[in-house]
């Protein structure tokens, strides 16, 4: 089979909805150029199976679909709660603790040891891609933080937590990331993406780690831009990275949403000037999680990203669970 030639590439996340050979075959036939492995979820055994599946389909079709391993980075998540979730009404209080536990109506765990130390009274805490908003009432600076719900909503297990008002002390490359890189280097993937990059030093640290492995061909590095600190250091980040991903989901929580389209255009232009590829990610076709056709706004979003000069567009839940 001859690969389709497109100026703008398609990155698709593999997951429960797409990790069968028939589905993945159709995706690659339809034009997917890169398969993304999300290391925030899934076991090493599952990731290895996915890599082998991609290579099997490539062999069958005569294609060269690349593989991108996406590291979790310093992502803070909620701990485990009952399947139904925990609903907190507006004005009610709930305690977040760094101690592992099954969540209750009064208290849930947070997967970040220094959460209580880093936050301060008045800080905003956003959960589940900004769907839930809380305000810090008090912190004991050791284990527990008391929050007030600013909107009603249900907290689910392992949902992302954003701290737009807080400078977190978590390293750019976590111990989990280092363990994941060790496994990823055995897979011989094409790209590694680092999440929540805050400075060029984060990329340099990852590059040094990759170079410590005795491999003839080493994966290239994508810096995911989703923190305001990264915007401030963007020129240096671009210079030490092999490419940039505009990760609009968390970026749109960490900075005012209305600034995201402007940042997207600026980042694409800077990467074009530096001859570095850019990937536009998050909610490209989110409506297709439940509908067979994209919305007109999604079509316009895709078109504008292409017209801006983006090298690739990325699908997440649309292909992993949709």
Assess whether 95 carries a catalytic annotation: no
| 3-state class percentages of the chain: helix first, strand second, coil last, to nearest 5 | 35, 25, 40
Any idea what DSSP says for residue 228?
H
Query: Which residue in 316, 289, 313, 318 sits closest to 301, CA to CA?
Result: 313
Answer yes or no: are the C-beta atoms of 134 and 148 closer than 8 Å: yes
Residue 122 to residues 73, 107, 113, Cα–Cα distance (Å) = 26, 19, 20
Of the candidates 198, 224, 227, 248, the residue annotated as catalytic is: 224
Answer yes or no: are the C-beta atoms of 73 and 124 closer than 8 Å: no
Please provide the DSSP assignment of 36-57 as one string. Answer: EEETTSS-HHHHHHHHHHHHHH
Assess whether 224 carries a catalytic annotation: yes
Of the candidates 8, 25, 55, 77, the residue annotated as catalytic is: 77
Of the candidates 63, 97, 139, 282, the residue annotated as catalytic is: 282
> What radius of gyration, in Å, describes the C-alpha atoms of the chain?
20
Any idea what DSSP says for residue 75?
-
Any idea what DSSP says for residue 259?
G
Q: Could you give the CA distance from residue 13 to residue 17 in angstroms, rounded to a whole number?
A: 10
Query: Which residue in 123, 183, 169, 162 sits closest to 247, CA to CA?
Result: 162
Of the candidates 36, 75, 198, 227, the residue annotated as catalytic is: 36
Q: At what angle do helices 200-211 and 175-187 cross, to 10 degrees?
A: 50
Assess whether 282 carries a catalytic annotation: yes
Answer yes or no: are the C-beta atoms of 124 and 130 closer than 8 Å: no
Q: Could you give the CA distance from residue 246 to residue 268 in angstroms, rounded to a whole number?
A: 9
Active site members: 36, 77, 224, 282
């Amino acid at each position: 089979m001859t690969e389709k030639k497109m100026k703008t590439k398609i990155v698709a996340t593999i997951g429960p909805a797409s990790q069968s050979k028939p589905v993945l075959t159709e995706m690659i036939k339809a034009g997917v150029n890169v398969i993304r492995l999300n290391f925030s979820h899934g076991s090493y055994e599952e990731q290895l199976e996915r890599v082998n599946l991609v290579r099997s389909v490539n062999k069958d079709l005569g294609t060269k679909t690349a593989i991108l391993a996406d590291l979790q980075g310093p992502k803070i998540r909620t701990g485990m709660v009952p399947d139904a979730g925990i609903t907190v009404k507006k004005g009610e209080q709930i305690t977040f603790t760094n101690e592992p536990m099954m969540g209750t109506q009064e208290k849930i765990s947070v997967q970040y040891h220094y959460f209580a130390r880093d936050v301060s009274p008045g800080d905003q805490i956003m959960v589940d891609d900004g769907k839930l908003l809380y305000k810090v009432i008090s912190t004991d600076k050791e284990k527990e933080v008391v929050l007030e719900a600013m909107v009603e909503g249900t907290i689910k297990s392992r949902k992302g937590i954003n701290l737009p008002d807080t400078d977190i002390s978590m390293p750019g490359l976590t111990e989990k990331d280092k363990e994941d890189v060790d496994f990823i280097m055995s897979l011989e993937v094409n790209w590694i993406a680092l999440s929540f990059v805050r400075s060029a030093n984060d990329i340099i640290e990852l590059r040094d780690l990759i170079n410590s492995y005795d491999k003839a061909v080493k994966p290239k590095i994508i810096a995911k831009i989703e923190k305001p600190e990264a915007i401030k250091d963007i020129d240096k980040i671009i210079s030490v990275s092999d490419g940039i991903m505009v990760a609009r989901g968390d970026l749109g929580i960490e900075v005012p949403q209305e600034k995201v389209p402007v940042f997207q255009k600026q980042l694409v232009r800077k990467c074009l000037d530096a001859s570095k590829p850019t990937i536009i990610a998050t909610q490209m076709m989110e409506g297709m999680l439940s509908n067979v056709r994209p919305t007109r706004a999604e079509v316009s979003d895709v078109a504008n990203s292409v017209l801006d000069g983006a090298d690739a567009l990325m699908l997440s839940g649309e292909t992993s669970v949709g």
